[in-house]
Chain A
Amino acid sequence: MTPLIPLDSDWLTAILPELILCAAGMMLILIDVFVPRARAIIAPLAVIDFLAAFWSELFVDGGTYFSGTYQISNITRLFDIVFLLAAILCALLAADYLDREKLQSGEFYALLMWATVGMMMMAKGLDLLVVILGLELLSICIFILVGFHRRIAVSNEASLKYFLMGAFATGFILYGTALFYGATQSTNFAEMSRWFARGDASNPLLTVAFVLLMAGLGFKLAVAPFHGWAPDVYQGAPSPVAGWLSVAPKAATLIALIRIFGAMTPVLQQASWLKMVAALSILSMIVGNAVAIAQRDLKRMLAYSGIAHVGYMLIALISGGTESVAAIAVYAVTYALMNIGAFGVVSMLAKNQNDPQTLDDIAGLGFRRPFAGAALMVCMFSLAGLPPTAGFIAKFFIFKTAIDAGHTTIAIIGIITSIVSVYYYLRVVYYLYMKEAPAADMVPVGSVFATSALAIAVLGIIFIGVNPTPLFAIAGAAARSLVP
């Protein structure tokens, strides 16, 4: 009689980062309850825990665990780093934010850690069900994190919206998975891949399954037309959470999608499923960039810009091949730095959460708070994809992949929508440096935590922009580990 889960001897080290985060999360909650005086050091403790998880990545051996349902390789390591980077930046910004809003507590960081564990599962799962488990763990944490500012109506509203929509999305994903199982007799990627290798996608069940799955995952990615929740949720969520939410879950969903697409490679072309994804990409780029122009609230603007950025990443996804996986990985790292950086400045500015953070609130900031202003400017230029920032390199990589794969039309649409996006990113710079500041307007000074988060983001953006070679090497190795 074999055990249900054959325990490999080294399975414990394989999931070391996850274990560290799970345990640290519980520890933080307990500290918060039993040693209330220690509340002041909870944020640094959380950051240290994330760093420990970061460090433990070094000891994790590559390989397949848990009956071929859990894979650890260069690609999962790289995405783990993206999740941890996003979480660290979020924790640093939140330390400042929660203090100001008198919400400092262990649960916040614990939820952030468990959400990170969920994302790691999504990235490592070799089985649709593992991915879904990770996704659910992530989603439950997000529901609470979005509504963390419980005294404020907009935060509750955002949480409820995300919960209701998210429940539907999960339903779609589960239904799609069930249909896939029905058609291919498996939810394991390797077995699905073997089934698809027969090259038969004529079963209409498969198309329905694919559409349902894409709708559900598209919701998590906030691609148009499944993006409706994003602006409201980002606006209502605490700013550090919004920044993290706009980056990390999207990266996790993308890596899961990369795996699903990898399994379907033989049939993707003939079944015109790629055309559907291309349509999502084009729609996202157009809707995101066009609607962002009309936004005066910074968080809503960043929400729409995020929709467009996922559109860019989908360009690489449909191009296929090793290069495109590397391009998505590079884009994910870059996007984490620049988007959380931008949300970070917004979070530092908040006089209180009820205020909409509009463009007028940053008028003249560039000269009053030179560091925060310059950081926001760098993030904006990077989001706009202007050299010498990381955003340029990442976007260049995407368009290069598209052209190499022969998707010239979609690359041209991407470039044209980028031109549109320059307008609203530049408008932020215009408010920063060219508008007079309202008289006697107090701007909160960021603490050392928030400032260091911004410094990490800005230095990372410029370093990758000037010297992308190391990141390319890592991303290239990661991509090769996924696509042999």
Chain B
Amino acid sequence: MSSVLSITLWLPMAAAALLLFFPRTAATAIKGLGLLASVATFVASLGILGGFREGVAGLQLVEAHSWIPQWGITYALGVDGISLWLVLLTTLLTPVVFLASWNTIHKHPKEYVIAFLVMEAAMIGVFLAADLLLFYIFFELTLLPMYLVIGVWGGANRIYAAIKFFLFTIAGSLLMLLGIIYLVFRHAHATGVTTFAIHELYGTPLTAAMQAVLFFAFALAFAIKVPLFPLHTWLPDAHVEAPTGGSIILAGVMLKMGTYGFLRFVLPFFPEATAKYAPLLIALSVIGIVYGALVAWVQPDMKKLVAYSSVSHLGFCVLGIFALNQTAIEGSILQMVNHGLSTGALFLLVGVIYERRHTRMLADYGGIARTMPVYATLFIISMLSSVGLPGLNGFVGEFLILSGSFKTQPKAAIIAATGVILAAIYLLWLVQRVFFGPITNEENRNIPEIAWNEFAAMVPLVVLMVWIGVHPNTFLRKMTPSVEQLLSVVERGREKGEAVLARGEQRAASSEQVAAADVPARRSLPAARPEVRP
């Protein structure tokens, strides 16, 4: 079972290739194969879970094959505590999408299924890649199918949304590509080995100024993806215009590629710059938390409300990452999964009611808990999970993030906590206006109840919301060693940086007539660089 990662990665791609040869009229067979392939992928990913050994910090189930030897690029896959649950989230949400959209995609079903399968493979590749260029290729490959999904199956203003989504993301990631090349170049310069292997690039000697530049090249790409305030403007457009399945995957998985990127690359590659600029990213994430919540509050459109709530919730994830301690980072990873489950569920449910009534305006609804009791129950559970009710998953993640970041960033944690309260306000407000009160609109009297396929799609999400809420340790204990290792890498890098600074200061002091005020200016002196080399 050493190739379980490759099987999980290539299964959806193989199914997509097979589907190319299906006649486009065989819609049921195409959807059936798509569902089958995505369920098989999920089963394969359970194999990853089965093969995953707890207590190991580094990459596991590693596969490495030479790919472009001239540049030291390998086809290397691996999974650790940081990526494990994100891979499973991806393989879980794809069959959910196929189930939920079983009856709603009438236009070009073949291309729809192919797009989602390619997207699934690419997203799995992003989380599994152990080679920087392989990661980048999958990172960009996710864009193409999502562009088509929004543009072909989206709402009225879909073209604008699709192009905006694409251009925002590509602008960030192309600059990151330059950063990648430059990082590898510096590494080759220092060690004489050209390699793109992520773990070998940890600890590449860089001057403070270079770290800062590279930090921003990488952080920009991921901040756009997350999205972090003020780079979030593509997200509401993309979400509102995307079809339900697209929104589920976009919110459920794609946004996490940004937070995952921070954890996997930005923190360990640039520990000094991370320590230096953490306050900036924390400030932006806290602004995002409060701003996203306030804007969500005033949305008249359900889908837009959920979209802005994503900006707010992802702010928590970034806050947890840059709090730079064990509790907060574990909480952040768990919150990525939580957000995938609860926001995925909310988008799915908003899609369900939109299919029936063709409106998402809060004002058009009211009192539908009476006509759709099962639907209302599912919606309220998902909503409470998103709000962070104790006993459901959202509470655990947000609690860990807030308690962890309170240790290092108390002010930010206090402001961020208001985001939790605001979330309760806007989501409860949404539920109250949609589900309770008198039925004011006659059309709401006979909305058909949630269908079997939509219900089936919701079941695993609800089960996991309760599971994580009641027994989060199942999930947390697999992350712990990897997060510890990550933090030690960051810590080492920072100490090394400080040692260099200290030496620089000593030298500055010893070389007489240097005023004390000049010392900080010496911090970025490249003269200190050679000593960083291992």
Is B27 interfacial (CB-CB < 8 Å)?
no
Is A408 interfacial (CB-CB < 8 Å)?
yes
Interface string of A451-477 (1 = CB under 8 A from B): 000000000000000011100110010
Interface residues of B in 156-211 (CB under 8 A from A): 158-159, 162-163, 166-167, 170-171, 174-175, 177-178, 181-182, 185
A427: min CB distance to chain B, Å: 8
Is A433 interfacial (CB-CB < 8 Å)?
yes
Is B71 interfacial (CB-CB < 8 Å)?
yes
Residue of B nearest to A402 (CB): B181
CA distance A388 to B68 in the complex (A): 14
Is B151 interfacial (CB-CB < 8 Å)?
yes
Is A422 interfacial (CB-CB < 8 Å)?
yes
Q: Is A433 a contact of B177 with CB atoms below 8 Å?
A: no
In the complex, chain B residues whose CB is within 8 Å of the CB of A473: 70
Interface string of B106-123 (1 = CB under 8 A from A): 001001000000000000
Q: Is B68 a contact of A468 with CB atoms below 8 Å?
A: yes
Is A23 interfacial (CB-CB < 8 Å)?
no
A340: min CB distance to chain B, Å: 22
Q: Is A434 a contact of B68 with CB atoms below 8 Å?
A: no
B18: min CB distance to chain A, Å: 16
Is B262 interfacial (CB-CB < 8 Å)?
no
Residue of B nearest to A388 (CB): B137
Is A193 interfacial (CB-CB < 8 Å)?
no
Q: Is A423 a contact of B163 with CB atoms below 8 Å?
A: yes
Interface string of A398-418 (1 = CB under 8 A from B): 011001100010011001001
CA distance A411 to B177 in the complex (A): 11
A93: min CB distance to chain B, Å: 24
A465: min CB distance to chain B, Å: 9
CA distance A434 to B171 in the complex (A): 22
Cβ 8 A contact of B178, one of A381, A403, A423: A403
In the complex, chain B residues whose CB is within 8 Å of the CB of A182: none
Q: Is A400 a contact of B71 with CB atoms below 8 Å?
A: yes
Q: Which of A399, A403, A434 has the most CB of B within 10 A?
A: A434
A63: min CB distance to chain B, Å: 27
Q: Which of B69, B133, B163 has the most CB of A within 10 A?
A: B163
Q: Is A434 a contact of B151 with CB atoms below 8 Å?
A: yes
Is A419 interfacial (CB-CB < 8 Å)?
yes
Q: Is A418 a contact of B174 with CB atoms below 8 Å?
A: yes
In the complex, chain B residues whose CB is within 8 Å of the CB of A388: 137, 141
Q: Is A472 a contact of B170 with CB atoms below 8 Å?
A: no
Q: Is B69 a contact of A430 with CB atoms below 8 Å?
A: no
Is B490 interfacial (CB-CB < 8 Å)?
no
CA distance A216 to B330 in the complex (A): 63
Interface string of A371-396 (1 = CB under 8 A from B): 00000000001000011100010001
CA distance A472 to B66 in the complex (A): 14
Q: Is A423 a contact of B70 with CB atoms below 8 Å?
A: no
Residue of A nearest to B184 (CB): A400
Cβ 8 A contact of B167, one of A367, A408, A422: A422
A143: min CB distance to chain B, Å: 39
Is B26 interfacial (CB-CB < 8 Å)?
no
Cβ 8 A contact of B140, one of A386, A404, A423, A430: A386
In the complex, chain A residues whose CB is within 8 Å of the CB of B182: 403, 408
Cβ 8 A contact of A430, one of B68, B70, B163: B163
Cβ 8 A contact of B159, one of A400, A423, A430, A472: A430
Q: Is B178 a contact of A412 with CB atoms below 8 Å?
A: yes
Q: Which of B140, B151, B166, B174 has the most CB of A within 10 A?
A: B174
Is B429 interfacial (CB-CB < 8 Å)?
no
Q: Is B152 a contact of A423 with CB atoms below 8 Å?
A: no
Residue of B nearest to A422 (CB): B170
Q: Is B158 a contact of A434 with CB atoms below 8 Å?
A: yes
Is B148 interfacial (CB-CB < 8 Å)?
yes
Is A52 interfacial (CB-CB < 8 Å)?
no
Contact A469:B69 (CB < 8 A) given known A399-B178, A419-B174? yes
Cβ 8 A contact of A411, one of B70, B108, B137, B178: B178
Q: Is A433 a contact of B151 with CB atoms below 8 Å?
A: yes
Is B136 interfacial (CB-CB < 8 Å)?
yes
In the complex, chain B residues whose CB is within 8 Å of the CB of A411: 178, 181
In the complex, chain B residues whose CB is within 8 Å of the CB of A412: 178
Interface string of B129-158 (1 = CB under 8 A from A): 000010011001101100110011000001
Cβ 8 A contact of B144, one of A386, A427, A468: A386
In the complex, chain A residues whose CB is within 8 Å of the CB of B133: 396
Cβ 8 A contact of A400, one of B111, B136, B170, B181: B181
Is A426 interfacial (CB-CB < 8 Å)?
yes
B113: min CB distance to chain A, Å: 15
Q: Is A404 a contact of B137 with CB atoms below 8 Å?
A: no
A37: min CB distance to chain B, Å: 40
Interface string of B58-80 (1 = CB under 8 A from A): 00000000011111000000000
CA distance A27 to B471 in the complex (A): 82
In the complex, chain A residues whose CB is within 8 Å of the CB of B152: 433-434
CA distance A396 to B418 in the complex (A): 45
B32: min CB distance to chain A, Å: 21
B513: min CB distance to chain A, Å: 35
A383: min CB distance to chain B, Å: 14
Cβ 8 A contact of A419, one of B141, B159, B162, B171: B171
Residue of A nearest to B154 (CB): A434
CA distance A433 to B141 in the complex (A): 18
In the complex, chain B residues whose CB is within 8 Å of the CB of A415: 174-175, 177-178
Residue of B nearest to A468 (CB): B68
In the complex, chain A residues whose CB is within 8 Å of the CB of B181: 396, 399-400, 403, 411
In the complex, chain A residues whose CB is within 8 Å of the CB of B108: 367
Q: Which of A387, A422, A472, A476 has the most CB of B within 10 A?
A: A387
CA distance A404 to B189 in the complex (A): 9
Interface residues of B in 482-497 (CB under 8 A from A): none
In the complex, chain B residues whose CB is within 8 Å of the CB of A381: 144
Cβ 8 A contact of B166, one of A400, A403, A426, A469: A426
In the complex, chain A residues whose CB is within 8 Å of the CB of B162: 430, 434
In the complex, chain A residues whose CB is within 8 Å of the CB of B141: 387-388
Q: Is A387 a contact of B167 with CB atoms below 8 Å?
A: no
Q: Is A403 a contact of B136 with CB atoms below 8 Å?
A: no
CA distance A411 to B141 in the complex (A): 22
Cβ 8 A contact of B177, one of A367, A399, A404, A476: A399
CA distance A411 to B175 in the complex (A): 10
Residue of B nearest to A411 (CB): B178
A319: min CB distance to chain B, Å: 13
CA distance A386 to B144 in the complex (A): 9
CA distance A411 to B178 in the complex (A): 8
B169: min CB distance to chain A, Å: 10
Cβ 8 A contact of A403, one of B70, B151, B185: B185
In the complex, chain A residues whose CB is within 8 Å of the CB of B69: 469
Q: Is B185 a contact of A419 with CB atoms below 8 Å?
A: no
Contact A387:B136 (CB < 8 A) given known A426-B166, A433-B152, A434-B152? yes
Q: Which of A412, A430, A467 has the most CB of B within 10 A?
A: A430
Q: Is B148 a contact of A433 with CB atoms below 8 Å?
A: yes
CA distance A473 to B66 in the complex (A): 14
17 contacts between A and B (CB under 8 A): A381-B144, A396-B133, A396-B177, A396-B181, A400-B71, A403-B185, A408-B182, A415-B174, A415-B175, A415-B178, A419-B170, A422-B167, A429-B147, A430-B163, A433-B148, A467-B67, A472-B70
| B contacts, CB < 8 Å to A | 67-71, 108, 111, 133, 136-137, 140-141, 143-144, 147-148, 151-152, 158-159, 162-163, 166-167, 170-171, 174-175, 177-178, 181-182, 185
| A contacts, CB < 8 Å to B | 367, 381, 386-388, 392, 396, 399-400, 403-404, 408, 411-412, 415, 418-419, 422-423, 426-427, 429-430, 433-434, 467-469, 472-473, 476
With A415-B174, A423-B167 already in contact, 5 other A-B pairs whose C-beta atoms are closer than 8 Å: A392-B137, A399-B178, A412-B178, A433-B148, A434-B158
What 3 pairs across the A-B complex have the smallest Cβ distances?
Answer: A387-B137, A434-B151, A472-B70
